[in-house]
Structure 1
Amino acid sequence: MEEKETHEDQTVEKKPKKKRKLQEPGVIYLSKIPALMNVKTIKDIFSQYGEIGKVLLQPNEKAPNTKKGRLFTEGWVEFLDKKIAKQVAANLNNTQIGGKKKSRWHEELWNIKYLHRFKWAHLNERLAYEKAVHKQRLRTEIAQVKRVANFHIQNAEKRQKQRAIEERKQRQGKSVGGDKEEGDYEIFQRETEEDTVTRKRKLDSVGETGKTGKRKKDDINKKSFFARTSLIKSIFSGGLNEDD
């Protein structure tokens, strides 16, 4: 009998290849931007360590713009691979920027931090929030300035009205008073008890002197009357008295 040999097909199962993880971007934060650095210089420096996505620098609004360029306070750099972003932050933090010795940034130090779980969309939200807060602060400051200006204007108008009233009163007082100079006012003070007693004594003394003077005047008039009547009698009687 023929023996049939059967060969079992040995099939080797191939394991599925692991899918490569998509590179996740990573963002580093620059808390200090050296003077006269711009987006182009930042890209040129960090692109030698890895592929860069986006760069954003925050301009310094308080500092004036120079002829050589704008000044920036802080910045964000996005690497397409977050591993490279972590390495850059760990290796370059607190180190010299370097380059040629003639470069103005040769001895400047980097201040870099890797932002964990930070996406570029978060940065956009933060900037939009800061912009809205800045606008609200400006509106508040403008309203405050307007309130202060209106307060000073109202006070100035009140002073002008009060000055006009005082000048009108002074003109009226000068026309009535005659010789009174502008700005002169009569002030009356309440009498004290001593002043009242003194004034009464003066009035009494003046009254007594007036009475005595009147009596003396009456006596003189009587004497002159009797003298005139006696003279007339003597003329018409021929120098004879009535008793004779």
Structure 2
Amino acid sequence: MEAEETEATAERGQLEELNQTTEAEKEQEEPEETACSKKRVVPGIVYLGHVPPRFRPLHVRNLLSAYGEVGRVFFQAEDRFVRRKKKAAASGGKKRPKYSKDYTEGWVEFRDKRVAKRVAASLHNTPMGARRRSPFRYDLWNLKYLHRFTWSHLSEHLAFERQVRRQRLRAEVAQAKRETDFYLRSVERGQRFLAADGDPTRPDRSWAFAQRPTEQELRARKAARPGGRERARLAAAQDQARSNRGLLARIFGAPPPSGSTEEPSLARDV
């Protein structure tokens, strides 16, 4: 009986130890699970810089879904002017040209930014089409991961570009309207001028204005006065003398001051 009791107590102790170890393991696993659940998955956006012709968002989704879960995809369409020009070139005189619009750039959102970083680093400058008969086999991926860039930033950027385009178009329309109004006013003014030019009752408005006399005219007027020739001759002689005096002064130097000229005379007197 005593042996059976000792065996029962030993089994109970082992069971208690196992229960304690399992409870400790569960307690250790619970914080790990809560930490994983608290760790939020942040989406990442990859910028696609090159979009080949006839490349659609569905192609991007099918090609990149093999590397991770792809969320939203947006492609920027080409300008209307370029599209219209290509459409006219593709028509070639036909009535109904078959032309589909192309895209210039795109943005691809991955559910996990780590997958987005890995895809951008591994697929950059690699062929788009893996199969031999793929139409995009000779086009290369041009991918770049946008750090701290969210889809809301893209929406704001597109809205800003749309607003800027509208303002530019509004300014161009206003400028064209001002030029047209100015041209119409000029045409009306010219028509009125031509109509009034043949009217005999219109007074002749000749432009009469007095011009300022020139230097030669002023000298001629002074010379025409009585005694003006003598004054002109004296003025010319004075000008000639001044010029000669200045020439001699430059050749022989300036005359000595008055104090230096008086010293020799004083010395002779002494």
Same fold (TM over 0.5): yes
In the other structure, the counterpart of 1:64 is 83
In the other structure, the counterpart of 2:43 is 25
Give the C-alpha shift of residue 91 in structure 1.
1.0
Taking only the aligned residue pairs, the percentage that are identical comes to 39
In the other structure, the counterpart of 2:62 is 44
- Taking the aligned partners of 2:143 and 2:104, their CA distance within structure 1 comes to 13
In the other structure, the counterpart of 1:166 is 197
Matched, 1:34 2:52: yes
Unpaired runs of at least 5, structure 2: 1-8, 88-97, 203-270
Q: Whose Rg is larger?
A: 1
Question: 1:96·1:108 contact (CA, 8 Å) conserved in 2?
Answer: yes
In the other structure, the counterpart of 1:120 is 151
Structure 1 residues 68, 37: closer, same or farther in 2, change over 3 A?
farther
Give the C-alpha shift of residue 69 in structure 1.
2.1
Unpaired runs of at least 5, structure 1: 174-244
Matched, 1:78 2:109: yes
Residues 15-66 of structure 1: per-residue CA shift (max 9 Å, x gap): 2224322321110001121111112112112112211100000000132265
Q: Which secondary structure does the structure 1 equivalent of 2:32 belong to? A: coil
Question: 1:63·1:71 contact (CA, 8 Å) conserved in 2?
Answer: no
Give the C-alpha shift of residue 136 in structure 1.
1.1
Larger % of helix: which? 2
Q: CA RMSD in A?
A: 2.6
Counterpart residue identity of residue 99, structure 1: A
Give the C-alpha shift of residue 92 in structure 1.
1.2
Higher relative contact order (CA 8 A, sep 6+): 2
Q: Which secondary structure does the structure 1 equivalent of 2:46 belong to? A: strand
Structure 1 residues 148, 80: closer, same or farther in 2, change over 3 A?
same
In the other structure, the counterpart of 1:207 is none
Question: 2:125·2:140 contact (CA, 8 Å) conserved in 1?
Answer: yes
In the other structure, the counterpart of 1:213 is none
Q: Which secondary structure does the structure 2 equivalent of 1:63 belong to? A: helix
Residues 154-193 of structure 1: per-residue CA shift (max 9 Å, x gap): 1111111111112334xx79xxxxxxxxxxxxxxxxxxxx
Counterpart residue identity of residue 82, structure 2: A
Aligned pair count reads 169
Counterpart residue identity of residue 143, structure 1: A
Matched, 1:141 2:172: yes
Residues 109-138 of structure 1: per-residue CA shift (max 9 Å, x gap): 111100011111111111111111111111
Give the C-alpha shift of residue 68 in structure 1.
4.6
Q: Which secondary structure does the structure 1 equivalent of 2:126 belong to? A: coil
Matched, 1:153 2:184: yes
Question: 1:36·1:71 contact (CA, 8 Å) conserved in 2?
Answer: yes
Q: Choose the corresponding residue for 2:127, options 71, 96, 104.
A: 96
TM-score (norm 2): 0.56
Q: Which secondary structure does the structure 2 equivalent of 1:90 belong to? A: helix
Give the C-alpha shift of residue 78 in structure 1.
0.3
In the other structure, the counterpart of 1:217 is none
Counterpart residue identity of residue 95, structure 1: T
